Amino acid sequence: MKKRSILLDFFIEHRLSYVVGVFFMLSASYIQTIFPKVLGKTIDILKLSGFSEKSIIVNILYMLLIAVGTFVCTYAWRNLIIRNSRELECHIRELLVVHFQKMSPEFYNRRKTGDLIAYAINDISAVRMTFGPATAMSINGLALCTAAVYAMTQTINWRLTLMCLAPIPIIIVVMIRTGRVVQKRFRRVQECFASISDRVQENINGIRVIKAYAQEDEEVNKFEELNTKMMDSNLNMVKVSATLSPAIELCFSISFVLNLIFGGNMVLKGTISLGDFIAFNTYLTMIMAPIISIGRVINILQRGMASYKRLNEIFSVEADITDGEAGVNTEIMGDIEINNLSFSYPDSGEKALEDINISIPKGHTLGIIGKTGSGKTTLASLLLKLYNVEAGKIFIDRVDINHYTLEALRGGFGYVPQDNFLFSATINENIRFFKESYSTKAVENAARASCIYDSILCFPKGFDTILGERGVNLSGGQKQRISIARAIIKNPAVLILDDALSAVDTITEDKILNNFKEFRRDKTAIIIAHKISSVKDADEIIVLDGGGICERGTHSELIEKGGVYYDIYKEQSKDRKGGFQNEDSESA
């Protein structure tokens, strides 16, 4: 969805409030222009001898009524127009997050987190200022200036008006030229802000690594460089934008001098009255304020246009992972068939997987083992359709994976990734993944099945314990088991554990795997691991090497072959024996 259609749809939806708001805005501008004329008439009455006090009182009441009318109309349009701009900001931000949710992992691989955060905060805020306060001030200023100039020419003197407003074209030229430069330089400011956001986030997430390698000073120096660039880019923009207000004030100073010279002579000659002269000065002052604000508005508009272009670019990125055209929305049962599957990551010439053939009947457990980079996680990603797959390569319940809707497909899978991401929420909320449909008993059963229940009860607040960012106050094994509980409570047709038992000890690992046999009877499971102990009881084990299947069979069959699997088994058995010997020597 493009940004233009979002704006257009929003304006159409809120057209009534915009029309009413503009009406009150124009009314406020018109009412304001009446004040100088009434003031001028009052001055002319006061200079007469034996003036009528009643006329003065009427004019004063009239001026108070003008002030009240201006207040009411201004209050009304600000509540309508500015409120709409806040709703627009909220609306765009929600659409942006929805858009982010639709993007594939490849999208995030190519973009920095800090830049995406800048879109959601700075850019949307700049667009709000453009289509809220800036637009309102532009319309209000234009209406006020038009009404004031009309009153000056028609009711006072058109020659004096033209003479005093002669510097205005200079102001317009300066604003247009300055605005173009501001737009370019503000885009650079946004880019610097994105870089700083990204650096701060990386430093916070990687603070333990930074401290472990004593890299604090180096990271501070890198941040200082980015911070200096941010300051320089802001100063470069300010150097240009700061010229607007002084230039406008200089031009209006010339206008006031011209008015004082020529207008004063007209009063002396009797061409215009003293009241008209004062009214003319008031109109000139009235025009000056919105034009100075228009100078500021030009800055806001140019910033907003720069952000508008950035947002338009991000909204124009189409989701490359979409629902299947067939729109199959049936519940997945768990029968998986993979035929001659080969896959390469975008912009990569090497094949991550090649000629993969696997059959996993419903209720069976498949173990996948192999070296780092052999394609284990890639295979799991393709089953979840995190990347597009060729037609006729993967079938779920005899239906091509490309025919399913994403919701139906992924709804049938439970996935525990290598990176066990936990949210800054309670343990309860992390297990149920913020879904209220799961009962307390279901949460507890999932915790028991993943062998984390007793550990949770040891926390002061139990399941209501609030976790730090990414579960920083938990051990690696605890985070893995909570992630497993999150997958178990879903009771999916297919459960994928991607090296999800690497941080737990062998005894706990055996308990969890035995619980799976109890809780997941007649359910399909795919266990990806580096450890033989995690997959030895699987119905079938495949060994991946260089993206292809080099061996397959049961644990005993693969041991008898004496191939890659046996070598891994022998190496891990030797490590365990060495570990036991070291423990014995330490205890001795």
**The model's pTM:** 0.69
Q: What pLDDT, on a 0 to 100 scale, did the predictor assign at position 245? A: 72
Tally of CB atoms within 10 A around 300: 23
Q: Tell me the two tokens of residue 189.
A: 């400011």
Using alpha carbons, list the distances in angstroms from residue 25 to 82, 189, 392: 12, 33, 62
Q: What pLDDT, on a 0 to 100 scale, did the predictor assign at position 496? A: 92
Gyration radius from the chain CA atoms: 36
> How are the residues of the chain apportioned to helix, strand and coil, as percentages rounded to the nearest 5?
65, 10, 25
Using alpha carbons, list the distances in angstroms from residue 582 to 72, 502, 575: 84, 21, 10
Find out whether 369 and 541 touch, Cβ atoms under 8 Å: yes
**Three-state SS for 155?**
helix
> Domains in the chain, please, with CATH?
93-315 (1.20.1560.10), 336-412+492-587 (3.40.50.300)
Q: Residue 540 forms beta bridges with which residues?
A: 366
Find out whether 130 and 308 touch, Cβ atoms under 8 Å: yes
- Rounded CA-CA distance 14/23 in Å is 14
Find out whether 124 and 96 touch, Cβ atoms under 8 Å: yes
Burial class (CB in 10 A: 0-12, 13-18, 19+), 517: exposed
Using alpha carbons, list the distances in angstroms from residue 21 to 18, 73, 293, 529: 5, 9, 20, 63
* Phi–psi pair at 242, nearest 5 degrees: -70, -15
CA 453 from centroid of its chain's CA atoms:
35
The string of DSSP letters for 82-98 reads: HHHHHHHHHHHHHHHHH
Q: Tell me the two tokens of residue 352.
A: 């991550």
Find out whether 394 and 343 touch, Cβ atoms under 8 Å: no
Q: What pLDDT, on a 0 to 100 scale, did the predictor assign at position 356? A: 92
Residue type, 38: V
Using alpha carbons, list the distances in angstroms from residue 40 to 44, 58, 161, 454, 585: 6, 14, 16, 85, 104
Find out whether 528 and 499 touch, Cβ atoms under 8 Å: yes
DSSP symbol at 356: E
- Rounded CA-CA distance 45/51 in Å is 6
pLDDT tens, the chain, 588 aa long: 444 478 888 888 888 988 999 899 889 888 888 888 888 888 878 777 666 778 888 888 988 999 999 899 989 988 888 888 888 888 999 999 888 888 888 888 788 777 788 888 888 888 888 888 888 888 888 888 888 777 777 766 777 777 777 777 777 777 777 777 877 787 788 778 778 877 887 787 777 678 777 788 888 888 888 888 888 888 888 877 777 777 777 777 787 787 778 777 877 777 778 887 788 778 877 777 777 777 677 778 877 888 888 888 888 888 888 888 888 889 899 899 999 999 988 877 788 999 999 999 999 999 999 888 888 989 999 999 988 889 999 999 999 999 999 989 998 999 988 888 888 888 899 898 878 888 899 999 999 999 999 999 988 889 998 887 667 778 888 888 999 999 999 889 999 999 888 888 888 888 888 888 878 788 899 999 988 988 988 999 999 988 899 999 999 999 998 888 998 888 888 765 554 343 333 333
Q: What pLDDT, on a 0 to 100 scale, did the predictor assign at position 582? A: 39
**% pLDDT > 70, the chain:** 95
